[in-house]
């Protein structure tokens, strides 16, 4: 018989491997969600304006586990609140995203927010950026 402490060790490492697989899937899922929403906004100009966790489903059948190559799938639901952007608006969103990604000065980031019509009570560059 296998000693109990070895069984505990093996069980713990099995759990750790499962958690690592779940984290890898989570990273892939978040990347896919950003990719899908980015495509909707920047390429299609029509996007789900209500992308909260309640509008996401993890679709997994009885044979799918995080430890197998067959990963769960993501289902996007409830497109009741959609927004359509013109080409000009999409270009403005792209400029904003690039300024944030490039770690642009606060003044430039705030200017891109303002260009999109975003307003604050006191027009604070620090708050917008």
pLDDT tens-place values along the chain, 129 residues long: 667 776 666 666 666 666 666 667 788 888 999 999 999 999 999 999 998 888 888 887 665 555 556 677 888 888 889 999 999 999 999 999 999 999 999 999 999 999 999 999 999 999 999
Nearest 5°: the CA angle 110, 111, 117 is 95
pTM (2 d.p.): 0.71
C-alpha to C-alpha distance for 35 and 50, rounded to whole angstroms = 16
């Amino acid at each position: 018989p296998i000693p109990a402490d070895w069984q505990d060790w093996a069980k713990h490492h099995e759990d750790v491997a499962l958690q690592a697989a779940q984290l890898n899937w989570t990273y892939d899922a978040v990347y896919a969600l950003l990719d899908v929403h980015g495509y909707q906004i920047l390429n299609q100009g029509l996007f789900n304006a209500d992308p909260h966790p309640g509008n996401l489903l993890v679709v997994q059948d009885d044979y799918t586990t995080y430890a197998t190559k067959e990963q769960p799938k993501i289902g996007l639901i409830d497109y009741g609140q959609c927004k359509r952007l013109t080409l000009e608006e999409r270009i403005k969103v792209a400029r904003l995203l690039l300024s944030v990604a490039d770690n642009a000065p606060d003044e430039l980031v705030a200017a891109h927010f303002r260009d999109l019509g975003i307003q604050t009570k006191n027009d604070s560059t620090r708050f917008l950026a």
